[in-house]
Amino acid sequence: MLDKIKNEILKELKKIKINKVELKQPPKFEMGDLAFPCFDLGKNPVDIAKEISKKLDKDNFSFIKEIKNFGPYVNFYFDTEKVASEVLKKINSSKKVGENNIGKAQKVLIEYPSQNTHKEFHIGHLRNVAIGNTVTNLYKKSNYDIKAINYVNDFGNHVVKCLWYILKYKKDVLKNKKFQNQKYLGEIYSEANNFIKDHPEFEEEIKDFQVKFENKDKEIFSLWKKTRKWSIDGFKKIMKELDVKHADIIYESEVKELGQKVVDKLIKKKIAETGEKGAIIVDLNKYNLDIALLRKSNGTGLYMTSDLALAEKKFKKYKIDESIYVTGIEQKFYFEQLFKILKLDGFEKKMTHIAYGLVNLPSGKMSSRAGNVILYEDLKNDIYNILYKETKTKNKDWSEKKIINTTKKLTGAVLKFSMQKHEASKNIIFDIKEALSFDGYNALYVLYSIVRINSIFRKNKFNSKEKVDFSLLKEEEEKTLISLILGYDEIIYKALKNYNPAVITKYTFDFAKAFNDFYAKYNIIKSEKELKKTRLYLINAVAVILKDALQILSIDSVDEM
């Protein structure tokens, strides 16, 4: 709908020879709904704005009621009645909102969260999942045929350290079921890494251990299979809780050997070469990408070894048009190297890296190696326990089942919203007190707005097919809500274009705030009969859009809280 109005404005501006047009939303309500800045048009922008305002005839527009100039801007005012009639009827009568056909059913594969076995699943991984879920949902909204897969590193150097440490110092974990789980395995890895850091005399022993591991030594390989299952079982539970639906899972162990063959091919094609001490490298200095290491001097592979094979495998197996990787921003340079090597090998496919910032604590940076991380499971339980107490206290008449189900939804909302409320590329500091606040830019604030609307409808019957008088929507707060509803499609497009879920979270907050401003100022229930019907029609559309936007963030709304 907003595109329709903008195109109409562009068409009329072209008639008067104005072709370079960028429409913006004015900073103040009294300055209209859309504005055209008249800079860079060769004359005094204030004079140009006056001239254009006089030339444009409002009768030529379907949804524009008034045209005025404010300084160097031409400002357009919507015909609220016409806009509300079209957009609110569409929202209240449709089962699906915010959908478009940008993707035209192109096939896309998105890979996330790409966690490692034998390591913790911490809040950094949580941010990966939250962003991956939202990007997937944005692609679906835009009619892409998108599938999510997970590439799990179950064969890296971290696994070697963990297995070596277990066989050398922790064999007791193999006998006690209490320790045979994903969480404890992560703790062992951190302990192992710190031990090895303090005892460099074991470096050669570990290198030999890795060679044995990659050659599938019987004892080591048996332990790997057993401990790998502990991690996989733990991950399955977490993915279910976070509403991640993977079409497939690929493990590094499945592409490791294929990766070595790709390296051999690159050597033959003289793209790769032997570097110092016998390691296989690709010199990317002329592309300002330094030296890429493809194989260690002892013949063992690295992440890059496997990723080269994985890239080719994904396009061949899934017949896709684009492959998306979601990883931390610290891997940005790595993916630039990977994509360049593939291109040098003639692999001309569309590959996109979505890099998100790190999640830090108020006390500083987290590190799996050092062991100072907040585990997803621990954080989830802490938040759940706080919200459970509050929910139980506020709703003494609720059944235990209802309290638990509502608390689970609120916990998921707090976690996912907090991970996405800032620009995806920026580092964030996770503060649990801020995340659990009912005021400000938070999940609970947005959800409570929906709860308020639900409460109104429990006391008042609503029929979306009933005729209402849209001319009654005259207040500034009502027009703001209509404007926000009108811009929903554009918000989805902007979030998709920039791979940035924060566009959606910010929109839900702004929308919730606009509703709460309206709710605080006007008594909907006590409004005059016809106005009450129209306002109920309006806030129903508000609820529809808010719920849909939260669903994009893979957040379930709640009826009460």
Do 312 and 178 fall within a single domain? yes
Residue 384 within any structural domain of the chain: no
Residue 266 within any structural domain of the chain: no
CA dihedral 314, 316, 319, 323 (to 10 degrees): 30
**Range scoring the smallest mean pLDDT among 214-218, 453-457, 462-466, 545-549:** 462-466
Q: What is the CATH number of the domain that holds 449?
A: 1.10.730.10
The C-alpha atoms of residue 221 and residue 31 are separated, in whole angstroms, by 70
Residue 427 within any structural domain of the chain: yes
Do 45 and 118 fall within a single domain? no
Q: What is the CATH number of the domain that holds 68?
A: 3.30.1360.70
The C-alpha atoms of residue 345 and residue 369 are separated, in whole angstroms, by 35
Do 23 and 135 fall within a single domain? no
Q: Label residue 536 exposed, middle or buried (CB < 10 Å: 0-12, 13-18, 19+).
A: buried
Segment 462-490 shows an average pLDDT of 94
Question: Does residue 272 register a pLDDT over 60?
Answer: yes
Q: Is 297 helix (H, G, I), strand (E, B) or coil?
A: coil
pLDDT-based confidence at residue 465 (cuts at 50, 70, 90): confident
Residue 178 has a pLDDT of: 83
Do 139 and 56 fall within a single domain? no
Do 311 and 189 fall within a single domain? yes
Question: Does residue 195 register a pLDDT over 80?
Answer: yes
Let me know: does 263 contact 163? Beta carbons within 8 Å. no
Strand ranges (E), 376-467:
428-429
Which string of b and e fits 454-488 if b means at least 16 CB within 10 Å?
eebeeeeeeeeeeebebebbeeebbbbbbbbbbbb
Question: Does residue 68 register a pLDDT over 80?
Answer: yes
**Range scoring the smallest mean pLDDT among 195-209, 233-247, 357-371, 440-454:** 357-371
Q: What is the pLDDT of residues 104-162, one digit of tens each?
A: 999 999 999 999 999 989 999 999 999 999 999 999 999 999 999 999 999 889 999 99
DSSP 364: B
Residue 320 has a pLDDT of: 98
Q: Partners of 251 in the beta sheet?
A: 152
Question: Does residue 371 register a pLDDT over 70?
Answer: no
Question: Does residue 392 register a pLDDT over 90?
Answer: yes
Segment 445-456 shows an average pLDDT of 97
**Range scoring the smallest mean pLDDT among 39-53, 131-145, 497-511:** 39-53
The residue ranking higher by pLDDT, 361 or 203, is 203
Q: Is 114 helix (H, G, I), strand (E, B) or coil?
A: coil
pLDDT-based confidence at residue 37 (cuts at 50, 70, 90): very high
Do 504 and 422 fall within a single domain? yes
Which string of b and e fits 538-558 if b means at least 16 CB within 10 Å?
bbbbbbbbbbbbbebbbbbbb
Share of the chain above pLDDT 70, in %: 98
Question: Does residue 264 register a pLDDT over 60?
Answer: yes
Residue 393 has a pLDDT of: 97
Residue 380 has a pLDDT of: 95
**Range scoring the smallest mean pLDDT among 347-356, 425-434, 535-544:** 425-434
Do 45 and 192 fall within a single domain? no
The residue ranking higher by pLDDT, 367 or 150, is 150
Residue 364 has a pLDDT of: 60
Residue 538 has a pLDDT of: 98
Q: What is the CATH number of the domain that holds 204?
A: 3.40.50.620
Question: Does residue 366 register a pLDDT over 60?
Answer: no
Question: Does residue 461 register a pLDDT over 90?
Answer: no
Residue 37 within any structural domain of the chain: yes
Residue 365 has a pLDDT of: 59
- Cα angle 474, 477, 483; round to 5: 85
Q: Tell which residue, 294, 183, 167, 295, has the closest CA to residue 221.
A: 167
Let me know: does 8 contact 62? Beta carbons within 8 Å. yes
Residue 367 has a pLDDT of: 54
The residues, any chain, with a CB within 8 Å of residue 99's CB and separated by 6 or more, are 141, 142, 143
Residue 172 within any structural domain of the chain: yes
Share of the chain above pLDDT 90, in %: 85
Q: Label residue 269 exposed, middle or buried (CB < 10 Å: 0-12, 13-18, 19+).
A: exposed
Question: Does residue 34 register a pLDDT over 60?
Answer: yes
Which string of b and e fits 364-382 if b means at least 16 CB within 10 Å?
eebebbeeebbbbbebbee
Segment 61-80 shows an average pLDDT of 94
Segment 477-493 shows an average pLDDT of 95
Do 131 and 219 fall within a single domain? yes
Residue 168 within any structural domain of the chain: yes
Segment 318-335 shows an average pLDDT of 97
> Tokens standing for 28?
């103040």
Residue 241 within any structural domain of the chain: yes
The C-alpha atoms of residue 417 and residue 438 are separated, in whole angstroms, by 13
Let me know: does 136 contact 495? Beta carbons within 8 Å. no
Q: What is the pTM of this model?
A: 0.91
Let me know: does 39 contact 72? Beta carbons within 8 Å. yes
Count up the domains in the chain and report the number.
3
Question: Does residue 368 register a pLDDT over 70?
Answer: no
Do 160 and 70 fall within a single domain? no
Q: What is the mean pLDDT of the chain?
A: 94
Do 238 and 354 fall within a single domain? yes
Do 71 and 200 fall within a single domain? no
The residues, any chain, with a CB within 8 Å of residue 154's CB and separated by 6 or more, are 116, 117, 118, 224, 228, 231, 251, 252, 253
Residue 372 has a pLDDT of: 62
Q: Which domain holds residue 142?
A: 112-254+307-360
Residue 382 within any structural domain of the chain: no
Do 54 and 145 fall within a single domain? no
The C-alpha atoms of residue 536 and residue 470 are separated, in whole angstroms, by 11
Q: Report the 10 Å Cβ neighbour count for 197.
A: 10
Question: Does residue 308 register a pLDDT over 70?
Answer: yes
Strand ranges (E), 79-209:
107-111, 145-152
The residues, any chain, with a CB within 8 Å of residue 43's CB and separated by 6 or more, are none
The C-alpha atoms of residue 275 and residue 272 are separated, in whole angstroms, by 9
